[in-house]
Amino acid sequence: MLAPNRLSSLFKPTFLTISTGIGLSLVLGVPTTLLAASLLSPNMRPPQPMKTMPKAQPRPPASAPRNPMRALAPQGIYVVVDTAQNKVYVREGEKILHTAVASTGSGASLQDPRNPSKGWIFETPRGVYAILNKIKNPAWVKPDWAFIEEGESIPTKSQDRVETGVLGDYALGFGNGYFIHGTLYTRLLGTNVTHGCIRLGDKDLEYLYRHVPTGATLIIF
């Protein structure tokens, strides 16, 4: 079942290109009234996720015992994503508030036919992140790989890249163009099929949108 090592050398030197190339033009929020106007701009650039400063945490009282390790732990509600089991956990301290079945990165690779030394690896990035922004009614600005993968030619007009209604009602961005969003393919929840984003079912996505604040810690493993 395992693929031969033939691609490993091909993709190693272009890792940075790969990881940034996946995300940059992935999603924008659809303020539906503004979308049309912004799409008509000839110099439209793929929208970037808005960077939001994490909310300030309340200081512990002076009498509280100082535990440096505890001080590092996420304060308040945070999200843990298990990419092996395709599960998302909303946690507060040790307590699990909500569990959801998700879809995460497939780990598959795609070669760029325009430049064979470049390509993409569709992995969900691991590490500690923060929820940077929350978007209602997101639309997908399809990046180059979405067209290459489907054997289509890459459009020259920016507006030809926009697809609405495929990302669910909400999207929570965690940087570099990666989002937690909804899906049309609910039958694939629980499997590794995405291009790096984290897909959730409608109800679970709404739970996260309503309960996870901007600035909350996101741990992906």
Partner 1 sequence: MAFGLSLSGLGASLALDIPPRRPPTPPRLTELAIAKTKSLYMVIDIPKNLAVLKARGIAIRTFPLQTIKWIGDPLSQPLSLQLKGKEPMVSPLSITPPPTSDKATVPDGEEEPPISPAKALTVSDMPFRYELAFQDHLNVIIQPDHLPSFWGNAWQQMGGWKDRVAAHMSTWKAAFGQPSISYLVLSMEPAEAQAFYWAVVPPMPWLVVPGTPGTTP
Q: Does the footprint of partner 1 cover residue 85 (CB under 8 A)?
A: yes
Binding residues for partner 1 restricted to 25-54, rule: CB under 8 A: none
Binding residues for partner 1 restricted to 201-220, rule: CB under 8 A: 217, 219
- Residue 8 one-letter amino acid: S
Decide whether 31 or 213 has the Cβ nearer to partner 1: 213
Other CB atoms within 10 Å distance of the CB of residue 3: 10
Query: How wide is the angle at C-alpha 220 spanned by C-alphas 205 and 50, nearest 5°?
Result: 60
Q: Does the footprint of partner 1 cover residue 20 (CB under 8 A)?
A: no
Tell me if 103 sits within 8 A of 198, measured CB to CB. Answer: yes
Beta bridge mates, 34: none
Decide whether 31 or 155 has the Cβ nearer to partner 1: 155
Closest by CA to 123, choosing from 213, 206, 11, is: 11
Q: Does the footprint of partner 1 cover residue 133 (CB under 8 A)?
A: no
Q: Does the footprint of partner 1 cover residue 116 (CB under 8 A)?
A: no
Choose, by CB under 8 A, the member of 110, 167, 205, 212 that binds partner 1. Answer: 110
Choose, by CB under 8 A, the member of 22, 26, 121, 180 that binds partner 1. Answer: 121
Other CB atoms within 10 Å distance of the CB of residue 127: 9
Q: Does the footprint of partner 1 cover residue 15 (CB under 8 A)?
A: no
Decide whether 45 or 51 has the Cβ nearer to partner 1: 51
Closest by CA to 183, choosing from 25, 21, 24, 27, is: 27
- Residue 86 one-letter amino acid: N
Q: Does the footprint of partner 1 cover residue 101 (CB under 8 A)?
A: no
Closest by CA to 158, choosing from 79, 40, 18, 57, is: 40
| Measured distance CA(48)–CA(43) in Å, rounded | 14
The contact set with partner 1 (CB under 8 A) reads 1-8, 11, 68-70, 72-74, 80, 82-85, 106-111, 113, 121-123, 126-129, 146, 148-153, 166, 184-185, 188, 191-195, 217, 219, 221
